[in-house]
Chain A
Amino acid sequence: MDILNALVAILNFVVIPAASYGAQLALGALGVTLIYGILRFSNFAHGDTMAFGTALVILVTWGLQAIGIDLGPVPTALLALPIGIALCSVFVLGTDRTVYRFYRRKRSDPIILVMASVGVMFIMNGLTRLVIGVDEIRFDDGARFLVSVQQFRAWTGLSEGLSLRVSQAITLAVTALACWALFRFLSRSRAGKAMRAYSDNEDLALLSGIDPERVVRLTWIIATALAVTAGTLYGLDKSFKAFNYFQILLPIFAAAIVGGLGNPLGAVAGGFIVAFSEVAVTYPWKKIANYLGFQPEGLLQLLSTEYKFAVSFVILIVVLLFRPTGLFRGKSV
């Protein structure tokens, strides 16, 4: 029985939160890795694209709620998501037209594009705060739990409870769907293959008649869709706060680099690796040790949660030192 309780506790406090956090990171890292593969620079504005897009989704959600539309148990934000993606894509394409295209035509070094993206990041950062403010916003309506602790206890008779929030279940489902659609698009469709060809060998893609501006536009739109989806899921799961999205940029880059920059499969794996490491290192394992018959002195918490970003840093440094191309052989940084 105690072993079962220990398992349930691990599921409840480690596996489920890490999986949904990992899914959010994976979606974010996919966007970063696509931009890196096609446009060949690390987009520092990605975190704030998530924030800006999510702010738009929240505004549309409020609009929908005001005219009395909701999705019942499912958050209304999911209905607002496609509209938010469309609006944010228009904005991001605008940044490409006004900022990045200039440097692309000049064939500038990647570092110049990175610095340009830092500028775009600050602008989006400020815009988001102007549009929706700096306060914490909860926008998850509908049902809160798919499985609540009380229900679980009543079903199983275990003393340890397990909860699965609607936002977590939706995160996992939406991420699975988005990854499936993306990988299918990249491996089957003509446009997806053209994107991969352009990422593989730009000059040969040009010779083959692939229009680079089309590939670039498509990449921005897909990366934005992934970013806004990730941002909205993160906001539903943990509440929206503009600053959080700036901070989440670090674990997202860690995820993309661990998986191998430019490799979409690596980005997904990297997202989960970073999330599971972060949660496992900051979770106090005392309770589980107790169930297993140990009586530890302390909390068995390796790192307090305030330092969770240190985990991403350490992973990043270890990977860059020992395997710069990442686990799935992406491009080296």
Chain B
Amino acid sequence: MTEPYLSATDMHGGYGKADILNGCTLTVDKGQIAVIVGPNGAGKSTAMKAVFGMLNLREGRVTLGGEDITALTPQERVRKGMGFVPQTHNIFPTMTVEENLEMGAFIREDDFRDTMAQVYELFPAVADKRKQNAGELSGGQRQQVAVGRALMTKPSLLMLDEPTAGVSPIVMDELFDRIIEVARTGISILMVEQNARQALEIADIGYVLVQGANRYTDSGQALLADPEVRRTFLGG
């Protein structure tokens, strides 16, 4: 079996003395959507931050496309093809939508206008407001700007930390549709979601995390069908 595109194996670590992650493993293949769900405090966001290098791992390793990136800083990982959308503070509020995208492409030396056109194509609502300050947009549109900003580096792996937090159900469906579209272009997606049921619907692979370790790992549909998972984590 070949190694998956992203593979974070047996991660142990936390912010202080106590570990939050206790042997968590996440893998995502090219073009797959992987979703991390679990109860509050399970270490979902921490696991993603560990993959992105925002947290020192005591144990475990992270590889991207076969290359060991465990020792790299988040900035270096961006250059290796990771894109990260934080849960909050994920835009530049007093800059225009267009400038937000430009800043996303800051590390690129080449012409990024076609990438920008693709982002606008993906998010037409945002394209109409390209000259408006991102801080003045609605919650859903801000999230679109945030995702767009991360896409500007042409990442091969896009990580989203609760992209639908605080947006209405309609906007949430719309965002998930866009995320599926992004995945179809061959970009791997790793996301943490609070709206577990809807997120698992679109997940190729789902991870149920409990206390910093994998409890269940299966395809999204299989997890949704598993009575045990339904009862304990999806509320019946």
A residues touching B (Cβ–Cβ < 8 Å)? 190, 193-194, 196-197, 200-201, 203-210
Interface mask (B84-123 → A, CB under 8 Å = 1, otherwise 0): 1010011111110001001110110000000000000000
A196 close to B75 (CB less than 8 A): no
- The complex places the Cα of A203 from the Cα of B92 at a distance, in Å, of 10
Chain B residues near A201 (CB-CB < 8 A): 89, 91-93
B140 at the interface (CB under 8 A from A): no
Q: Could you give 20 example pairs across A and B, Cβ below 8 Å?
A: A190-B106, A196-B99, A197-B103, A197-B106, A200-B94, A201-B93, A203-B86, A204-B89, A204-B92, A204-B103, A205-B92, A205-B103, A207-B84, A207-B86, A208-B78, A208-B104, A209-B78, A209-B79, A209-B107, A210-B103
If A193-B99, A209-B75 touch, whether A204 touches B107 (CB-CB below 8 Å) is no
Which residues of B pack against A, CB within 8 Å? 74-75, 78-79, 84, 86, 89-95, 99, 102-104, 106-107, 149
Residue of B nearest to A263 (CB): B94
Which 7 pairs of residues, A with B, have the shortest CB-CB distance? Answer: A209-B107, A200-B92, A197-B103, A208-B106, A209-B106, A208-B103, A197-B92
Q: Are B86 and A204 in contact (CB under 8 A)?
A: yes
Check if B94 sits within 8 Å of A196, measured CB to CB: yes
Contacts of B75 in A (CB 8 A): 206-207, 209
B86 with A210: CB separation less than 8 A: no
Distance in angstroms from A139 CB to nearest chain B CB is: 40
Bound complex: CA A201 to CA B78 (Å): 17
Apart from the given pairs A193-B95, A200-B95, 17 other A-B contacts in the complex at a CB distance below 8 Å: A190-B106, A193-B99, A193-B102, A193-B103, A194-B103, A197-B95, A200-B92, A200-B94, A203-B86, A204-B89, A204-B91, A204-B103, A204-B149, A207-B74, A208-B106, A209-B79, A209-B107
Closest beta carbon of chain A to B205's beta carbon, Å: 25
Residue among B89, B94, B149 making CB contact with A203, cutoff 8 Å: B89
Contacts of B86 in A (CB 8 A): 203-204, 207
Tell whether A208 pairs with B90 under 8 Å between CB atoms, given A193-B95, A193-B99: no
A193, A194, A210 pick with most chain B CB within 10 angstroms: A193
Complex: how many Å from CA A203 to CA B103? 13
Q: Considering the chains assembled together, what is the distance between the CA atoms of A203 and B99 in angstroms?
A: 16
In contact, A196 and B79 (Cβ under 8 angstroms): no
Q: What residues of chain B lie closer than 8 Å to A210, measured between beta carbons?
A: 103, 106
A196/B92 contact (C-beta < 8 A), A208-B107, A209-B79 known: yes
Q: Which residues of A contact B84 (CB under 8 A)?
A: 207
Q: Which residues of A contact B103 (CB under 8 A)?
A: 193-194, 197, 204-205, 208, 210
In the bound complex, how far is the Cα of B142 from the Cα of A204, in angstroms?
Answer: 14
**In contact, A204 and B93 (Cβ under 8 angstroms):** no
Interface centre among B90, B94, B102 (most CB of A within 10 A): B94
Task: Tell me if A207 and B99 are in contact (CB < 8 A).
Answer: no
A260 to chain B, nearest CB (A): 11
CB-nearest residue of chain B relative to A187? Answer: B99
B100, chain A: closest CB distance, angstroms: 8
